[in-house]
Copies of this chain bind each other. A is one copy, B any other.
């Protein structure tokens, strides 16, 4: 057996042997050992565990590998394993995304991640977004069918993940999940309709841990599941999980975390305070920046650079296949290149003199040829039109404005006061901060301050599987967050107007951005 984690949920313990001098119950002596190890007053022991406890303790000569869990309120003993049985207790962390679900398989004793698996959220067949699904959940059987869709798919992929790694699903004892408030409700199978109706009330913000089988999760019959708590309808457990993962709540100096997904979700703060803002910024961010481009697949343009010699554009596709389209991060790169080479102006419009014959007009809309027909992986050339570009311009302006509102106006900080800029979320992982600064989407900051977190929601859920102290931290994070509604008022619209320029009407904010022509 590997050395157990000091704060982990799997421990090796010795139970004092009974004697006439110490004739307290088996459960009592087991509890004494656990309380001492866990430094707690109380450990809940489910009845099924007591049923054959005397035999099991005696078979292993009063030594045991125990599998525990802790939710915000109490320790629960899940199982007692004979150390000689060679069982490795496992956990599954889940990022319950609206679009995509990702699982981590974790060795609970060592904390090692043994495998990862992502798949599309099957609820998409009911509706692509939260709104459509919640409306469906209000139909007869709607909630049950949405709940069953997600649980069945998770069960199936847990089975695959375990089998691939040479384990059985019965070895999985713990499941932690993080998702937005709606996804959390649907995963738990609880009514979610009030989330989208004024005054926007979740059924629950801090769900208890539950027996996994009560949710229909097919793991060890004694297993437990815990979903991250929400702050409210628009601030979900995925964000709390992300804060935990980034350790934002432990920072000495203020840092910022930005999760760019369907919505932009932002948290700024330190160990002293946390301010959060989430949700779409009105029509400007409708659909979100991630919706501009294609999702990643072979042939999708993911990087665009300027060839420093020729001053021409160099494109890089996924798996170097002929280009079939462009993804969000590629779009940001492209816009930066076009702006720096003068092919788009500070208003974000194509410049005919600069674009020359790469520009053509159709139905009154300008099209920029990015890849010509003969090099394209499709029937025609790969183009960017002014409508898509305008959409990107609005999105980048909205992102910058939101950052300005929360950092400058709300927290009263300058961007340079931020020690770190954490970029979370799958989409965020691919953004080149240099390009994002060039178009004025992210503020001018030393590139060394940017740090890509990847899937922070999954990361936090994974942490929770191996660190019992994380539960208190989650509650602390919840308590210290001030959630602000983004107020799209006249002041916001004024700031937004300035940010729609490339990189901004106030050029002094972006001293490093130098147009090459």
Closest to A188 in B: B47
Cβ of A483 to closest chain B Cβ, rounded Å: 10
Q: Is the CB of B205 within 8 A of A28?
A: yes
Whether B25 and A203, one on each chain, are in contact in the complex, defined by CB atoms closer than 8 angstroms, is yes
Provide the bound-state CA to CA distance between A320 and B26, in Å.
Answer: 52
- Copies per assembly: 2
Given contacts A42-B73, A233-B23, contact A54 B214 (CB under 8 A): no
Q: Which residues of B contact A198 (CB under 8 A)?
A: 20
Measured between beta carbons, the chain B residues less than 8 angstroms from A230 are: 25
Nearest CB of chain B from residue A425's CB, rounded to whole Å: 25
B202 near A26 with CB under 8 A, answer yes
For A30-67 the 0/1 string (1 means CB < 8 A from B) is 00000000000010111110111111000000000000
A208 interface residue (CB < 8 Å to B)? yes
Who on chain B is nearest to A210 by CB? B47
Query: Which 4 A-B pairs give the minimum distances between C-beta atoms?
Result: A27-B204, A25-B205, A25-B202, A18-B201
Task: Offer 16 A-B interface pairs, CB within 8 angstroms, sorted by A.
Answer: A18-B199, A20-B200, A23-B232, A24-B201, A25-B201, A25-B203, A25-B204, A26-B194, A26-B202, A27-B206, A28-B205, A45-B208, A50-B190, A52-B190, A53-B190, A54-B191
Interface residues on A, range: 35 or more
Residue of B nearest to A47 (CB): B210
Q: With A and B bound together, what is the CA distance between A233 and B205 in angstroms? A: 44
Pairwise interchain contact A27-B191, C-beta atoms closer than 8 A = no
A208 proximity list for chain B (CB < 8 A): 44-47
Contact of A50 among B23, B48, B193, B207 (CB under 8 A): B207
Q: What is the bound-complex CA distance between A48 and B189, given in angstroms?
A: 9
| Given A25-B203, A51-B191, 8 other A-B residues pairs in contact with their CB atoms under 8 A | A20-B200, A25-B202, A28-B204, A28-B205, A44-B73, A50-B188, A54-B194, A54-B203
A19 in contact (CB, < 8 A): yes
List residues of A (232-261) whose CB comes within 8 Å of B's CBs.
232-233
CB-nearest residue of chain B to A199: B20
Closest Cβ–Cβ distance, residue A323 to chain B (whole Å): 47
In chain B, what residue has the closest Cβ to A48? B214
Of all chain B residues, the one with the shortest Cβ separation from A73 is: B42
Given A47-B214, A73-B44, A233-B23, are A54 and B189 also a contact pair (CB < 8 Å)? no
**A74→B208 CA distance, assembly (Å):** 13
Contact with B along A199-230 (1 / 0, CB 8 A): 11111111110100011000000000000001
Q: Are B203 and A19 in contact (CB under 8 A)?
A: no
Bound-complex Cα distance A91 to B25 (A): 29
Chain B residues whose C-beta falls within 8 Å of the C-beta of A74 in the assembled complex = 73-74
